[in-house]
Amino acid sequence: MSINAIVFDFGGVISPRPFFLSMAQVISPVLNVPESLIVQAFRDNAPGVLRGLVSSEVFWDRIASQIGHPLSVTLRHMALEAGYEVHWPVLELVASLKRSYRTFVLSDNIADIVDQVRPVLHPYFEAQFYSCDAGLTKHETEFFALFLKKTGLSPAQCFFIDDKQGNVLRARAVGFEAYAFRGLEDLRSELMARDLLSPLRLV
């Protein structure tokens, strides 16, 4: 069965860096807290907020408690702006792919970021699927199954792009064609090698 849908992760693919890392890079110099400790706090508190089970306020309060510093509303907003930064050349590639394929987002993400990126990404994607809406993450194959049910696609029709090897492996286990993102130029090469992108169609 041929590929007719290209499915993109957000953080680390559409966004230049994983969003927890991007946010930690903003907070660290302001509070003089090691970046690694902030990233760890985000990861420790991620499961509930990524599934939409914990409110934004509770999430940020837990981060502040774990790193031992209050987080002002201004600093939170600054961090979130970094978290939802997009890499426009990737979206230019998506625009090119959309001429021939159905395009989707499938992302583990928090509501604060999703609220900002959803309208930005809307012109480029048929639909966007986020963990905070679904109550599931890509650590659970049920999220991939929900995506297939909502889109009417079969796994073999989907080419999935993610920067995390574990997510790539889980997608493959479900039956997706999947690729571990290593940069835009490498992705273009991979798409051309699979005959999913013609050099003549590059933006």
Give me the amino acid identity at 87.
Answer: H
* 73 and 97 share one domain: no
Residue 183 corresponds to which tokens in the numbers above? 């940069």
* 104 and 73 share one domain: no
Give me the amino acid identity at 193.
Answer: A
Q: What is the pLDDT of residue 202?
A: 47
Q: What is the pLDDT of residue 203?
A: 44
* 157 and 194 share one domain: yes
pLDDT digits (tens, 9 = 90+) for 62-72: 999 999 999 99
Angle between helix axes 35-44 and 56-67 (nearest 10 degrees) is: 140
* 189 and 94 share one domain: yes
Calculate the CA 64 to chain-centre distance: 24
For residue 99, the 8-state DSSP code is T
Q: What is the pLDDT of residue 200?
A: 57
Give me the amino acid identity at 39.
Answer: V
How would you class 31 by CB atoms within 10 Å of its CB: exposed for 0-12, middle for 13-18, buried for 19 or more?
middle
* 10 and 29 share one domain: no
Domain of 113 in residue numbering reads as 5-16+86-201
Chain mean pLDDT for the chain: 95
* 106 and 195 share one domain: yes
pLDDT digits (tens, 9 = 90+) for 95-119: 999 999 999 999 999 999 999 999 9
**Residue ranges of the chain whose pLDDT lies below 50:** 201-203
Q: What is the pLDDT of residue 192?
A: 95
Centre a 10 Å sphere on the Cβ of residue 102 and count the other Cβ atoms it contains. Answer: 19
